[in-house]
Structure 1
Amino acid sequence: MRTGSEPTTARSALRMRFWLSVWGLVWAVFGTVAFALAGRPGWAIACGVLWLVITADMAMILRHIRQGPHYQPGPDIPPYRPPENRRG
């Protein structure tokens, strides 16, 4: 919900997330190979699954970077009113 107190120039840190994902990908690949060579198949599978998750995350991050900036309401747009009937 938009409260009206958001920074007008707020941006997602997609490039930072991308480079952190690259760092994680390097370690996941290293872990997969190292545990496979050390004869620890459970840990190798765990690192392999992490490798797949990181790859999917990187694909999403790159997709969002390629989409470019999206419309953000300006200061002349009033904040959204909270719902009147809250169920809790």
Structure 2
Amino acid sequence: MRTGNEPVTARSPLRLRFWLSLWGLIWSAAGAAAFSLAARPGWAAACAAVAVIAAVDLVVVIRHIRQGPHYQPGRDVPPYEPPSR
């Protein structure tokens, strides 16, 4: 529901989420490789699972960034009425 008092300069945190996903992907992939070399298959599998989740999140974030900005009503559009109870 739009209340009409949203910040004019509000931005999406997609770029931050992109960098955090990339950071998580790098570290979890390195952890999976290190644990597999150290013969710790359980920890390697856990790190690999986190790497897969980070990779999927990275793909979703990149897709959302490439979609571009979506329609946002301007100041001339009045706020929606709150739902009546």
TM-score between both structures, scaled by the size of structure 1: 0.87
> What count of residue pairs does the alignment treat as equivalent?
85
Q: Give 3-state SS (helix, strand or coil) of 1:84's partner.
A: coil
TM-score between both structures, scaled by the size of structure 2: 0.90
Q: Deviations over 1:20-44 (max 9, x none)?
A: 1111111010111111111111111
- Offset at residue 83 of structure 1 (A): 1.6
CA distance in 2, matches of 1:51, 1:19: 14
Two-structure CA RMSD over aligned residues (Å): 1.1
Give structure 2 stretches of 5+ with no counterpart. none
- Offset at residue 14 of structure 1 (A): 1.4
Q: Deviations over 1:24-66 (max 9, x none)?
A: 1110101111111111111111111111111110001100111
Identity of aligned residues (%): 61
CA distance in 1, matches of 2:59, 2:15: 13
Letter in 1 for 2:57: D
